[in-house]
Amino acid sequence: MVSQVRTLLTVLFLSICIFILFPAASHSAPRHTIGVVFSADIPEYNEIDNAFRKILKKKGYTNKVRFITQHPNPDPLAWSNAIRKLIAYDAEIIIVYGSGAFLQAVYETDSIPIVFAGVYAPDRLEIINRKNVTGVGFSVPVSSLIRYLKKMKKVKRLGIIFSEIEPDSVLQMEDVIKACERFSIEYIKMPVQKCKQVEERLKLYMYDSLFLTNSAVLGAIYPQCADIPKSLNAPIITTMKGLDKQVNFSLSPDSKAQARELVDIIISILKGNKPKERIIKINKLVFNLRLTKEMDLQLPIELISGADRIIK
């Protein structure tokens, strides 16, 4: 009898220890919820995000955060709905890729930290002047692309296709216009608000060369429309990543550099700080030699010698 009582007390003691110790261990370090919204599911944003998560993992944050990721269509209403879902899920930080989702996030909350990435010249956008906003953007000298383009073909009319619903696309369009005026090049503005309008603009407008501004709308649909300017023998240039096979050359920001800065910003916020925005000026020049030859265009030696990558 004494033996049975002793055994029962031992089991009871161990049960109490397990109840007290194990829950304490499992809940000792609650994970931070980070919401992520892509303005579109395009290579440019995916490349930054993949590098960002790898670096965050190396720094030991795998078990400290959990991500809720949204991939809405490139549309203001879809972006807003995605942001609202993250707010409902009690996201402590919201990362937005692209200025479209960034703009809607600013409308939806002024208390949750909003961290942007993949945005052109964010320091020149009015929406950055909010207490809960920071992030990492990039700067690309668009005049350099125009200068290279002039060596490839005598440009009479440059078509500038841009998204009216993305602030940085509009800003880049304005920068391209300034470069055209500097080089005495005629230009035509080709605004779009939806993906379906891109094909319409490419068919309707008259141009002999084309500039694709940084845009989720364009990045999502342009590969399906790339044969239209090609049929016109119009060289295509851009600052977007992921379109290397569809354009003659691109000058785009280093994704890994943006990812490293994004990691630093997120960790700083998790520690209770308010980091300043960062601007990446490291750019990569990719020259599509194969497409340029197919279109029977000039092969500028500057592009060949200065390219970080050549598609043969």
Q: Domain check: are 233 and 272 in the same one?
A: no
Residue 306 near residue 285 (C-beta atoms within 8 A): yes
Cβ neighbourhood burial of 270 (10 Å; 0-12, 13-18, 19+): middle
Task: State the pLDDT at residue 62.
Answer: 83
- Residue 195 inside a domain? The answer is yes
0.75 exceeded by the pTM? yes
d(CA 242, CA 186): 28
Q: Domain check: are 174 and 221 in the same one?
A: yes
For residue 295, the domain's CATH number is 3.40.50.2300
Task: State the pLDDT at residue 283.
Answer: 95
Task: State the pLDDT at residue 192.
Answer: 98
- Per residue of the chain (312 residues), give pLDDT as tens: 445 545 444 544 444 444 444 444 444 457 899 999 999 999 999 999 999 999 999 999 989 999 999 999 999 999 999 999 999 999 999 999 999 999 999 999 999 999 999 999 999 998 888 899 999 999 999 999 999 999 999 999 999 999 999 999 999 999 999 999 999 999 999 999 999 999 999 999 999 999 999 999 999 999 999 999 999 999 999 999 999 999 999 999 999 999 999 999 999 999 999 999 999 999 999 999 999 999 999 999 989 999 999 999
Q: Domain check: are 65 and 111 in the same one?
A: yes
**H-helix or E-strand containing 33?**
strand 32-38
Q: Domain check: are 102 and 58 in the same one?
A: yes
- Residue 10 inside a domain? The answer is no
- Residue 11 inside a domain? The answer is no
Task: State the pLDDT at residue 20.
Answer: 43
Q: Domain check: are 258 and 248 in the same one?
A: no
Q: Domain check: are 293 and 168 in the same one?
A: yes
d(CA 213, CA 283): 15
Place of tokens 């590098």: 51
Number of structural domains in the chain: 2
- Residue 24 inside a domain? The answer is no
Cβ neighbourhood burial of 266 (10 Å; 0-12, 13-18, 19+): buried
Task: State the pLDDT at residue 30.
Answer: 76
Q: Domain check: are 129 and 178 in the same one?
A: no
Q: Domain check: are 276 and 234 in the same one?
A: no
Residue 125 near residue 153 (C-beta atoms within 8 A): no
Task: State the pLDDT at residue 29.
Answer: 58
Q: Domain check: are 73 and 105 in the same one?
A: yes
- Residue 264 inside a domain? The answer is yes
- Residue 189 inside a domain? The answer is yes
Q: Domain check: are 174 and 113 in the same one?
A: no
- Residue 150 inside a domain? The answer is yes
Q: Which residue range(s) make up the domain with 261? A: 32-139+254-282
Q: Domain check: are 228 and 304 in the same one?
A: yes
Q: Domain check: are 114 and 126 in the same one?
A: yes
